[in-house]
Amino acid sequence: NAGVTQTPKFRVLKTGQSMTLLCAQDMNHEYMYWYRQDPGMGLRLIHYSVGEGTTAKGEVPDGYNVSRLKKQNFLLGLESAAPSQTSVYFCASSSPDQPQHFGDGTRLSIL
Amino acid sequence: DQQVKQNSPSLSVQEGRISILNCDYTNSMFDYFLWYKKYPAEGPTFLISISSIKDKNEDGRFTVFLNKSAKHLSLHIVPSQPGDSAVYFCAAFTIQGAQKLVFGQGTRLTINP
């Protein structure tokens, strides 16, 4: 019973490099979300999706892109990583009338 | 402009006593409020929620109170147990569109034996 799985768990990048974070859920949820958490702050919404093939911007979308080609997967991309994107990234999923389930996070450091 | 605020970064409580975690919000359009609990190196897990049309919701040792006029909610844990030591986040959303959660900064609760 995996729930929400994020890969990788840790990653170190150099400024300017690109990478993709993968989120997979096995609960057949319609909605999926990407958040970032920085020290002393709560989670902030980056992008979200209300269904396969749809994406929308959240509170802090700049520097990130997302894709939801399959219902169970939600990808977060950094095209040109910047030190300000050093953070812990959390993926979540939910059905419209249920609370969000979160993955265990990806810790990303950009040097 | 932070719409959801938890002004206490940390709280220490004796085992068996009551823990009270507080949260304030500014957006009167929020329809639902939630509490999430987070252990280190894990994702947040849902604890309890309350609709804006109610003033209290209870689930076992956990009770959430909502005071709409004061734009304030609180989470009561009675009795507190060592396993309750974690970071607690309050969050809120409006029902238009997806559940776009707005989180507070979190409160680290430590339960002392």
The per-residue DSSP string of chain B comes to --SEE---SEEEEETTS-EEEEEEE--TT--EEEEEEE-TTS--EEEEEEETT-SEEEETTEEEEEETTTTEEEEEESS--GGG-EEEEEEEE-SSSS---EE---EEEEEE-
Q: Is the minimum CB–CB distance between B48 and chain A shorter than 8 Å?
A: no
pLDDT-above-70 percentage for chain A: 99
Judging contacts by C-beta atoms under 8 Å, the chain B residues touching residue A56 are 98
Q: What is the CATH number of the domain that holds A83?
A: 2.60.40.10
Best residue in B95, B99, B103, B107 to probe A by mutation, most A CBs within 10 Å? B99
Q: Is the pLDDT of residue A1 over 70?
A: no
Residues of A in contact with B97 (CB under 8 A): 50
Range of the domain at A94: 4-110
Mean pLDDT of B31-54: 97
Q: Count up the domains in chain A and report the number.
A: 1
pLDDT at A73 over 80: yes
Domain-located, residue B85? yes
B35: β partners: B48, B90
* Residues in chain A closer than 8 A to B9 (CB atoms): 40
What does the pLDDT read at residue A21? 98
Which residues does chain B have within 8 Å of residue A89's beta carbon, measured at their own beta carbons? none
Cβ-based neighbours of A83, under 8 Å, separated by 6 or more:
A15, A110, A111
Give the one of B42, B89, B106 whose C-beta lies nearest to A104's C-beta. Answer: B42
Note whether residue B113 is domain-resident.
no
DSSP A61: -
pLDDT band at A74 (very low <50, low <70, confident <90, very high): very high
The nearest CA of chain A is from the CA of B7 a distance in Å of 11
* CATH number of the domain residue B14 falls in: 2.60.40.10
By mean pLDDT, which of A27-36, A49-58, A85-94, B93-102 is the weakest? B93-102
Interface test with B, best of A98, A100, A104, A106 (most B CBs within 10 A): A100
Give the domain extent around B99. 4-107
Mean pLDDT of chain A: 96
- A86 within 8 A of A110, measured Cβ to Cβ: yes
pLDDT digits (tens, 9 = 90+) for B55-97: 999 999 999 999 999 999 999 999 999 999 999 999 999 988 6
The total number of structural domains that make up chain B: 1
Of the candidates A44, A47, A51, the one whose C-alpha atom is nearest the C-alpha of residue A96 is A51
Q: In terms of residues, how long is chain B?
A: 113
Q: Which residues contact B23 (CB under 8 A, 6 or more apart)?
A: B4, B5, B6, B33, B72, B73, B74, B75, B90, B104
A74 touches chain B (CB under 8 A): no
Nearest CA in chain A to B32: A99
Q: Does B59 contact chain A (CB < 8 Å)? A: no
Q: Is B111 exposed, middle or buried (0-12, 13-18, 19+ CB in 10 A)?
A: buried
Per-residue confidence (pLDDT) for residue B98, from 0 to 100: 85
Residue A40: pLDDT above 90? no
pLDDT at A97: 86
Structure tokens at B16: 């068996």
Instruction: Please state, for a pLDDT cut of 70, what percent of chain B lies above it.
Output: 99
Does any domain span residue B112?
no
In a domain, B57, yes or no: yes
Q: What is the mean pLDDT of residues B101-109?
A: 97
Which whole number is the average pLDDT over B32-59?
97
Buried b (16+ CB within 10 A) or exposed e, B63-102: bbbbeeeebebbbbbeebeeebbbbbbbbbbeeeebbbbb
Predicted confidence (pLDDT) at residue A2 exceeds the cutoff of 80: no
